[in-house]
Every structure is written in C-alpha cells, then in structure tokens.
Chain A
Amino acid sequence: MIRGEAPVATDCQTIQEILTENGGGLERLDGAESQHLEVCPDCREVAAAERALGLLFARAIPPADRVVEERVLAALRPARIRRRIVAFLPVAASLLVALVGAVMVGGVPGSGILGLLPEFSTQGWMAFATSVSDWGAAVATGARAAANTLDPAFLAGAGLVSIFGLVGVAVTALRWRRVSLWRDDR
C-alpha cells in the first residue's frame, strides 16, 4: 500500500501474486486492482518484470538447437544425481537411528551379531513379540466386553458419528482442494 494513499479494496501482496501467476498479465485484475496498479509503482514494476521474464522464456523455449539442449541436460545430470543423494542422506540417517534402536532392543532378527551385544539385548525382541501378542489379546478382550455391555442403540450412534465424521473429513478435504496457493480464482 502506498503511503498517504486512501485505503483501497486490495493490497500489494495480493495483486503481485496475481501478476506473478499470470506472467504480468492484467486481464485477471478487477476494477479496484487495476486502479491500484495505476498508482502503485511497486506493483507496476512487478508486472513489468513478470512480462519481461515471460518474453525471456518465450525466446528461450523451445530451444533452437537440440544439440545444445542435450549438452545442457547432460551437464545438469551430475547435479541432479548429487541433489538426489543429498536428499536421501536424511533418510539414511533415520534408518541408522532406527537400526541402532533395533540393535539395542534385541539385535537385528536373524543376524549373527546377537552374541556380540550386551546382556539386555537378547530378550528384547522376545519381549516385544510377547507384547504385540498381548496387544491383540487386549483388543480382543475389549471387543468381547464392549459387545457384551454396550447398548445397541449406543453402538448405532457411534457408527453414525463415524460415518458423519468421515463425510465431514472428506468434504473438508475436497473443499481445501481449492485452497491452492497458486489457484487461478484468487
């Protein structure tokens, strides 16, 4: 917003986003926004820069020389591979943390390193497996007890709440689908 200017219906950031999304084109601006552009040098500058960038791209694409294009892409390949490797490093570090945890819990199952581990490690996976089994027993007990004690009307109510909740979540997801940061109708 320009200093000293009367408040307008919109602001520089919104207009500049629209200009950026449309390559500096003014056709998406409404009356108030077009009026704002006439008095705001910053927004005019953004519009001009976007149009210039569009012209640059128009000249550069498609490339006139296939050989040059292939050479550029070939030169970029090592950088892309390097970028992928760098992006994979955190995944590898996470795997390492999980493996260290797994080894400390009870060794990697089936490996021969169990014997090299401290005493606490040998029982870890066995206890873990027992607990997983107990988890199933606990859920089965809960299901049997709930089926015996819960009122059918109450269960039907819980089912209805589940269905309404799922519908609500689905509707919200679809609604938010239109809330794109670069959507066209902003």
Chain B
Amino acid sequence: MVSGVAAASSGRTAVLSDLRINEQVAGDVVVFGADLELGPEARVEGDAVVIGGDIRVAEGAVVTRHVVAVLGGAEVPVDADIGGRVLCFSSPATLLSASSAREPSLHADFSMRLLAAGGWLLVTTGLAFLFPIRMRYGAWAVPSLGIKIPALGMMAGLTVFASLIASLGLGPVLGVPLVGGLMVIFFVARAVGLTVLGCWIGAMVLKRWVRHPLPISLEVFVGVLVLLAVRFLPMVGETMWTLISLVALGASIAVLGVSTDLMRAEPSSANQ
C-alpha cells in the first residue's frame, strides 16, 4: 500500500505526504516533510530516507541498506532486518544524544543542551555587540511589521525546503556540498533573526525593571535566554523552536532591509 505524490520506477518518493509501505520495493524510499512507515511485510532493496519527518519500522521489515532520518526520529525495533546503519538526527543540536541513543545519558544530554544554549547565546550576543545598529533596527521593525515577519519566515522556510530537495536530487557529489552551504546560510539567517527577536523580547522584559537604556547585548542575552527556555520545554519545546526558527528567518530579512545610509553609521556607533 503506497501513498505519495511522486513515484519513480526504481523506488518510492513522497513529499509532504505520509508514505506507508508493506510490500517489496526495488530501490530506495525517500520521504520529504512527512513520515514513513514500513510494515512487517516491507522489503526495501536500498535506503529508506526521511528528511523532516519520522520513520517507523515494524518488526520483520527488511531494509537492505541504511535507514536515515534527518530532522526527525526513527523507531527501529531490534528484530528489524537492517542491512546498513540506522542514522537519526532530530536536529544538529542533538548530535551527541543521537549518537548515544542506545544508552541515554542525563549528563550528556544536559551538557549538550548547555553547549547548544551557550553557543546560541555567544553567537547572538556577539552579533549584537558587533552590529548594534542593524540589530536594533531589526528589533524596532518587529512590532511595526507584525504578522509579515512570520509570513515571510514561512516563505523563506519553504524556499529552504525546496532548495534542500533540489540540492539532494543532484546526487552526493553536488548535493552534499550544496546542502552544507544551505545549512550554513540557514544557520546564519537564523542567528541574525534570533538576535533581532532576542533584542525585542529582552527589551520588553528588561524595561519592566530598568528604566535607563541598557546595552543591546544584554537585551539580546535576556531575550535569547527566554527563547532557549521555550526550546527546552518538555514535549512542545522542539516544535516551538521550529516555529521560532521560522519567525527568526523572517526577522533576519527585516535586518537585511536596513538602508545602506544607516549602515555607514555602524562603525562609530559603539554598542548601544
């Protein structure tokens, strides 16, 4: 039983539509932005790959090569017949916990979260320290642009998703470096957007207690702390973080909108 929006002769593909397979497939199975379920009668003669979704493998299912879940989870029972490896990454920030999935460690999980939180704080406060006017402008623009920011973030997210598919479709030689470049651009845009959102939130939080002007880096620090606290909420944290990331993409474009005249004032602007 197969449901998908695209199919090729040698394998199965689905985009934004769940795929359930319970039969023999002579080739790879690839799903983008949805879940893949391999039933007990499934026999995939190739790789089973899900990008942006979960993969569930039933007992008795056979995959002759790798089972890969990127930006999603993988449920693979012990008695499933997997010829290659099971590679599962819910996000780059969970690399360590993914590697130690068989022996979950509270210490390792906490350490990785602390490292990820510190990394985001360092990048965002550093951006605020180096480009205070651009970031301040972005934070000022957030309330005036309102719903346009998440809307544009959705559009940018869709563009990244389409680019990811197009890049992967070019094969490993071109696809891997292109995906790497895409991830770098996505990370930079998200960092800039998080700085802007952090500044906006931090300013709102801090002005309740402090009346005089504060350094933008402090506002960003407090604001990003709030966002990270949301991220590490149990159950809903990762979903919220995905939404925050999309909004951050939109906010980063707000920063791109700063006029060049304003940018010329940046070097002399100290840090306020």
Contact = CB atoms under 8 A, between A and B. Distances in A.
Interface of A: 80, 83-84, 86-91, 93-102, 104-105, 118, 120-121, 124, 127-128, 130-132, 134-151, 154-155, 158-159, 161-162, 165-166, 168-169, 172-181
Given A120-B108, A146-B165, A147-B170, A165 B270 contact: no
B47 interface: yes
A101 B257 contact: no
Contacts of B100: 127
Contact of A149 (B28, B140, B167, B216): B28
B118 A98 contact: yes
Contact of A80 (B116, B176, B270): B270
Interface stretch (B4-12, B75-83, B238-246): B4-12
Contacts of B226: none
A176 B96 contact: no
A101 to B, nearest CB: 3
B126 interface: yes
Given A101-B117, A104-B110, A84 B270 contact: yes
A169 B159 contact: yes
A135 B124 CA distance: 25
B257 A161 contact: no
Contacts of B137: 180-181
A146 B168 CA distance: 6
A66 to B, nearest CB: 20
Nearest to A86: B215
A143 B111 CA distance: 31
Contacts, number: 271
Contacts of A140: 172, 175-176
A141 B66 contact: yes
B121 A101 contact: no
Interface-central residue, A140, A145, A178, by most chain B CB under 10 Å: A145
B5 to A, nearest CB: 8
Interface string B95-125: 1101110000101101111111111011011
B19 to A, nearest CB: 11
Given A131-B96, A180-B262, A141 B47 contact: yes
B87 A141 contact: yes
A168 B87 CA distance: 35
B42 interface: no
A146 B270 contact: no
A171 to B, nearest CB: 10
B248 to A, nearest CB: 14
Q: Give the secondary structure class of A's interface.
A: helix
Contact of B11 (A145, A155, A165, A177): A145
Given A93-B125, A172-B155, 8 more contacts: A87-B218, A98-B122, A105-B96, A105-B111, A127-B108, A134-B99, A137-B66, A145-B30
A97 B95 contact: no
Contacts of A86: 215, 218
Nearest to B111: A104
B92 interface: yes
B141 A131 contact: no
Contact of B129 (A87, A102, A165): A87
Contacts of A130: 99
Contacts of B13: 146, 149-151, 154
Contacts of A84: 270-271
Interface in B239-272: 253-254, 256-259, 262, 270-272
B138 to A, nearest CB: 10
Given A91-B217, A155-B169, A165-B158, A105 B112 contact: yes
A178 to B, nearest CB: 8
B172 to A, nearest CB: 4
Contact of B125 (A94, A136, A178): A94
Nearest to B162: A161
Contact of B46 (A80, A145, A151): A145
B205 interface: no
Contact of B159 (A124, A134, A161): A161
A148 to B, nearest CB: 5
Contacts of B105: 120
A158 B169 contact: yes
